[in-house]
Structure 1
Amino acid sequence: MGRSGKTDVLMSRRGAVGAAAGLAFGGTAAMAGTARAADRDGGGERFRGKSVLITGATSGIGRAAAIAFAREGAKVAFCGRRERLGRAVEREIRESGGEATYLKADVRRPRDVRSFVERAVGRYGGPDIALNNAGIQLPFTDLHEVSIEEWDDVASTNIRGVFLAMKYQIPYMREAGGGVILVTGSTNQFATRTGLASYTAAKNGVTGLVQAAALENAAHHIRVVAVAPGMTDTEMLDAHRPEGISDEEWRLTKAAFAEQGVDAMKRMAEPEEIAAAALALASDAFAFQTGTSVPVDGGQLAGL
């Protein structure tokens, strides 16, 4: 099937489940109607006085993590390309009594990443913790139909962007005597489905970066860990919602795919649940954890 034919399928109600399947497997699906973890959890002191850097925090998992770290007492500097959303997250955190600063940056641009890290360190010190979260995903597309420009964009964001962030974070952490670097990976590091070649290749690259950086920096008291979400309620899937499908049809499509794809829990994760896992891995409770990619997937991989 050519790309035009595949687009027709994606845009049909009948093909909506297939679209959700292609987009959702690596941690980008959405599901409405569940209570937010942030509404259930109170504040704490785990990260009081710590400096936290987060890339890609204007929405989704990054946004949830920025809010959660700030609630736990951290000073959070975060970046993203969408300034309006970034300012909104910054305002939300400050109005709740937290400390956060949004700095516009594109992780595909080395100068932006370096500037983000330098400005964040200048404002809050550290960094004690970094969460390199920025990522994108294409609608599901067979490998031979992915354009070179699309491939490069996914690779530049999802793997090169992580490399650039680490490149500029690690010297500061070494100088400070240690820290924790987290990376948002994906269950696609372990298994994949058709139509996700570019995303899977990039996320598999995350595995290698985490392992190599962990080995190189353990002597400098820097831990490096990937959080590998399964299907997660973020805005990324909604950007690919087929035209003409109603809110209720879209909700049911996503719910049906979650039930089929997550064998154990039969639902998708909330961004706050993935953020909670990231905070746990960044804490002293996981002081012996490094060089690994930790699935947080509701039993998705167990059923494959």
Structure 2
Amino acid sequence: MHFNDFTGKAVLITGGTRGIGLACGLAFARHGARAILTHRWGSADEDALRARFAAIGAPAPMIVEADVSRDEDTAALLERVKAEHDHVDVFISNVAVVQRGEGTLELKRRSLYKSLEYSSWPFVGYLHAIHRAFARYPRYAVAMSSDGPDAHYPAYGYVAVAKAVLETFVRYMATHLFADGCKVQALRSRQVMTESYKDMFGPEQVELGRRFAEFACTPEEIADTTLALCSGMFDAMSGQVVTLDRGAAFVDNIATLGPRLLQPETEAT
């Protein structure tokens, strides 16, 4: 595939210091982009991150601690970006901080609101803030989803609701920003064994996923797909929810997976 030359262009990635976000930052940087990576809670080793970019001969990233739920953090972040760039070319909304669903009797309104605040609204909020700062929208905006609302896993309830809202916003913004030249997509990556996934779903689910590893995509594959989404290859599909997997949706049912789940692990693998 032919990816765009992003030399000198600003690519803003929320939650960009690990997992899928970091893989996207490195992928765009290999093609010349200046990656702007946000994180929160002082969780990033900035020296180690810069070393990762230097090792591939890429421009040094801008690394900013910014909580996506705080408008003042977003405004301060974009002021820093404005000091070095005249606009943001690509925006990737990757932050997904949600509450665990611990059963129907434990569902709480506050947990729902927090999940939406961190994992749904920032896609719209950042697009608003980018337009305020630069009087224009990015050329491309990509929202990272997972399985949307179409699947069920233990503890997935708030994730499913947050992703359903996120994907609705993607379709809405794609429709209304078409005239502004902003191409908007959602990318479903299904289950990717990042640290965030392990933290969210726990060791039992991780072990189960390991038995079906051939259906999982890597963060690097997701990053390359995001590059393709931002290189004109999917412009005619703006506003769509694109799913990346290796046929998992085709086999994700009891009839196909059930016999394998019942086998001893030595036979299944």
Using structure 1 for the length normalisation, give the TM-score.
Answer: 0.73
Give yes or no for the alignment of 1:105 onto 2:53: no
Q: How many angstroms does 1:220 deviate by?
A: 1.1
Give yes or no for the alignment of 1:133 onto 2:85: no
Q: Which has the higher contact order (CA 8 A, sep 6+)?
A: 1
Q: How many angstroms does 1:45 deviate by?
A: 6.3
Contact 1:127–1:172 (Cα < 8 Å) also in 2: no
1:71 aligns with one of 22, 30, 44 = 30
Distance 1:184 1:86, change over 3 A: farther
Q: How many angstroms does 1:84 deviate by?
A: 4.9
Distance 1:86 1:288, change over 3 A: farther
Give yes or no for the alignment of 1:165 onto 2:143: no
Give yes or no for the alignment of 1:254 onto 2:171: no
Q: How many angstroms does 1:239 deviate by?
A: 2.8
Cα-Cα RMSD: 2.6
Q: How many angstroms does 1:273 deviate by?
A: 1.2
Contact 1:45–1:73 (Cα < 8 Å) also in 2: no
Q: How many angstroms does 1:266 deviate by?
A: 3.5
2:83 aligns with one of 122, 131, 150 = 122
Contact 2:86–2:134 (Cα < 8 Å) also in 1: no
1:281 aligns with one of 229, 239, 244 = 229
In 2, the alpha carbon distance for the partners of 1:86 and 1:148 equals: 34
Deviations 1:97-120 (A, max 9, x none): 222110110001111122222322
Q: Provide the residue aligned with 1:293 in structure 2.
A: 241
Please show how residues 1-304 of structure 1 align to structure 2 within 5 Å.
46-85=5-44, 87=46, 88-99=48-59, 100-171=61-132, 175=136, 179-193=139-153, 195-239=155-199, 254=206, 256-259=208-211, 266-304=214-252
Aligned pairs, how many?
Answer: 248
Contact 2:146–2:191 (Cα < 8 Å) also in 1: no
Distance 1:185 1:121, change over 3 A: farther
Gaps of 5+ in 1: 1-43, 243-249
Q: How many angstroms does 1:241 deviate by?
A: 7.7
Contact 1:142–1:196 (Cα < 8 Å) also in 2: no
Contact 1:187–1:297 (Cα < 8 Å) also in 2: no
In 1, the alpha carbon distance for the partners of 2:43 and 2:151 equals: 35
Q: Provide the residue aligned with 2:261 in structure 1.
A: none
In 1, the alpha carbon distance for the partners of 2:200 and 2:157 equals: 18
Contact 2:193–2:206 (Cα < 8 Å) also in 1: no
In 2, the alpha carbon distance for the partners of 1:173 and 1:84 equals: 29
Name which of structure 1's ranges 233-242 and 126-135 shifts more when overlaid on structure 2. 233-242
Contact 1:130–1:181 (Cα < 8 Å) also in 2: yes
Name which of structure 1's ranges 52-61 and 286-295 shifts more when overlaid on structure 2. 286-295
SS in 1 for 2:192: coil
Q: Provide the residue aligned with 1:25 in structure 2.
A: none
In 1, the alpha carbon distance for the partners of 2:69 and 2:193 equals: 24
Gaps of 5+ in 2: 253-269
The runs of 4+ residues in structure 1 deviating greater than 6 Å are none
In 1, the alpha carbon distance for the partners of 2:97 and 2:113 equals: 11
In 1, the alpha carbon distance for the partners of 2:108 and 2:45 equals: 30
In 2, the alpha carbon distance for the partners of 1:162 and 1:205 equals: 10
